[in-house]
A and B are shown apart, each in its own frame.
Chain A
């Protein structure tokens, strides 16, 4: 097993005054693909967001590539796909413009060289969006938005990919494209930590699943197999009886 790329020890975090993470231990080794699973409100997204420094940690330690997170500066090694349903902002932007912002960690003062333009093109080819490079992101479907967000993370050619629900709101065809993209990255040695609501087409890629419940690690081991109708292709995982969770944790 490779050296640890992400390591959380006894991490606690609060949102407002509510404890969301209550002592999480999580290690992701080089080359591993780890899925973070759990119900809405279990703390999956918060765990991811403590790793990237978006949510402050009240207790515990986080290391990235063996460096304390607060002192970690080598962000070009990390590609991040935040939980979004859209890549669009308040002003129109093309697919290339959005993906280029992912390359900034590899540039000096934001100046793009030939290699940077090539990397952006390559990232778009990886997600099958090269033909839409000049289109406005406003004209894309949900699955295409997600592909743009993933291309943005891949533009920096990262060693570690952190993804928060990359399959949310993505149709099956796009899910398959994303799964293929990801499997190529994994084959090249990229380490992946991703939050998922269900394993879906990514299932064959996942080495290990960590299941959170109420801010604690409930399971850390082989991914749970989908059973019964959950295992059928095209199963739409909807829980009408479940109360709607909104806000930071949804």
Chain B
């Protein structure tokens, strides 16, 4: 546990835990809306923010937050108003964001593609005290939204059309989800990197689904997986000198595979338990009725 003596590792672990909580907490709503790759798109757009941060000599984290929030709002607007070829508009946003990032960072006097790499794939040793402050504030926002508005976000993500008839402000909640996802991307940027952040939003949720039957359980298990793999990945990268982002993502995928393997016998046991709970008169096997009745579903 000697790594806890280093200030940079303390900062890195704190950032890692916050990422492990926030990324799956937002990701679950994106997965529900079948927008699992939205985090990836925002990550591309955030690169322009990082580049601008270097160019204007301001904090890349706050700049990336601003640009990715704008990008996320733009994506949501395209989803509303884009009647045709919304995917083309999104593609332009993604690649424009990436190209903008590379361009700005090369124009910046202090920047080079080497700086960009630490944002693309994450770098624990470069997490500064001001980064940690920013990450804490942003993570607090994400937790307040994803937990405080969980019933509303569940309803809107589950069935948008129905949510409208319950009088929920559907558009405002959709925008809030997009903004929260954008904020999460910048929270995770320093630890797992912009190109890998989406994995931490989606894979823990997919892994949790293998075990859970309810939304609440999926949420809790996904966050637990998120925190375990971010801490595990950070510590592994300290001892083995491997990149933290890649380690975390590979661990997450490992967790997914392990839970999927576990899920099959678990489902079988649940089925047996359900069969045992049936009343005695209720046959487990199918019974073919001796005669046909009028209620049989047979086309006449």
Distance between Cα atoms of A54 and B160 in the complex (Å): 10
Q: Which chain B residues in 118-134 approach chain A with CB under 8 Å?
A: none
Judge if B151 is at the interface, Cβ distance under 8 Å: yes
B256-300 interface mask toward A, CB cutoff 8 Å, 1 = contact, 0 = none?
000000000000000000000000000000000000001111111
In-complex Cβ contact of B31 among A91, A94, A138, A238 (8 A) = A91
Residues of A close to B28: CB separation below 8 A: 91
Residues of A close to B83: CB separation below 8 A: 16
A230-243 interface mask toward B, CB cutoff 8 Å, 1 = contact, 0 = none?
00111110100000
Distance between Cα atoms of A134 and B149 in the complex (Å): 22
Distance between Cα atoms of A112 and B154 in the complex (Å): 14
How far, in Å, is A248 (CB) from chain B's closest CB? 12
Supposing A90-B32, A91-B28 touch, asked if A80 and B165 sit within 8 A by C-beta, the answer is yes
How far, in Å, is B198 (CB) from chain A's closest CB? 15
Supposing A75-B166, A91-B28, A234-B294 touch, asked if A54 and B161 sit within 8 A by C-beta, the answer is yes
Supposing A90-B33, A93-B214 touch, asked if A110 and B162 sit within 8 A by C-beta, the answer is no
Cβ-closest chain B residue relative to A236:
B299
Supposing A92-B209, A93-B214, A136-B213 touch, asked if A104 and B152 sit within 8 A by C-beta, the answer is yes
Residues of A close to B217: CB separation below 8 A: 92
Supposing A78-B165, A91-B32, A233-B294 touch, asked if A104 and B155 sit within 8 A by C-beta, the answer is yes
Question: Which of A23-31, A36-44, A95-103 is the contact stretch?
Answer: A95-103
How far, in Å, is B145 (CB) from chain A's closest CB? 12
How far, in Å, is B168 (CB) from chain A's closest CB? 6
Judge if B48 is at the interface, Cβ distance under 8 Å: no
Cβ-closest chain A residue relative to B270:
A139
Judge if B205 is at the interface, Cβ distance under 8 Å: yes
In the complex, the answer to whether B164 meets A53 with C-beta atoms within 8 Å is yes
In-complex Cβ contact of B215 among A73, A74, A94, A156 (8 A) = A94
In the complex, the answer to whether A94 meets B213 with C-beta atoms within 8 Å is yes
In the complex, the answer to whether A97 meets B154 with C-beta atoms within 8 Å is yes
Judge if A197 is at the interface, Cβ distance under 8 Å: no
In the complex, the answer to whether A229 meets B151 with C-beta atoms within 8 Å is no
In the complex, the answer to whether B213 meets A92 with C-beta atoms within 8 Å is yes
Distance between Cα atoms of A192 and B165 in the complex (Å): 15
Judge if A61 is at the interface, Cβ distance under 8 Å: no
Judge if B240 is at the interface, Cβ distance under 8 Å: no
Judge if B212 is at the interface, Cβ distance under 8 Å: yes
In the complex, the answer to whether A90 meets B34 with C-beta atoms within 8 Å is yes
In the complex, the answer to whether B167 meets A105 with C-beta atoms within 8 Å is yes
Residues of A close to B164: CB separation below 8 A: 52-54
In the complex, the answer to whether B298 meets A89 with C-beta atoms within 8 Å is no
Judge if B158 is at the interface, Cβ distance under 8 Å: yes
Residues of B close to A93: CB separation below 8 A: 154, 158, 214-215
Judge if A70 is at the interface, Cβ distance under 8 Å: no
Q: Which chain A residues in 1-46 approach chain B with CB under 8 Å?
A: 16
In-complex Cβ contact of B167 among A76, A98, A134 (8 A) = A76
Distance between Cα atoms of A138 and B220 in the complex (Å): 19
How far, in Å, is A211 (CB) from chain B's closest CB? 24
Residues of B close to A235: CB separation below 8 A: 299-300
Supposing A73-B167, A90-B32, A101-B155 touch, asked if A152 and B299 sit within 8 A by C-beta, the answer is no
Residues of B close to A234: CB separation below 8 A: 294-300
In the complex, the answer to whether A92 meets B218 with C-beta atoms within 8 Å is yes
Contacts A82-B159, A135-B213, A236-B299 supplied; 4 other A-B pairs, CB < 8 Å:
A97-B215, A173-B295, A233-B294, A236-B298
**Across chains A and B, which 7 residue pairs bring their CB atoms closest together, nearest first?**
A75-B167, A136-B213, A101-B155, A110-B151, A80-B165, A236-B299, A105-B166
Report which B residues bind A (CB closer than 8 A): 28, 31-34, 83, 149-152, 154-155, 157-159, 161-168, 205, 209, 212-218, 294-300
Could you pull out 15 A-B pairs where Cβ atoms are within 8 angstroms?
A: A75-B166, A80-B162, A80-B165, A90-B157, A92-B209, A93-B158, A94-B213, A101-B154, A101-B163, A102-B162, A104-B155, A104-B168, A112-B151, A135-B213, A235-B299
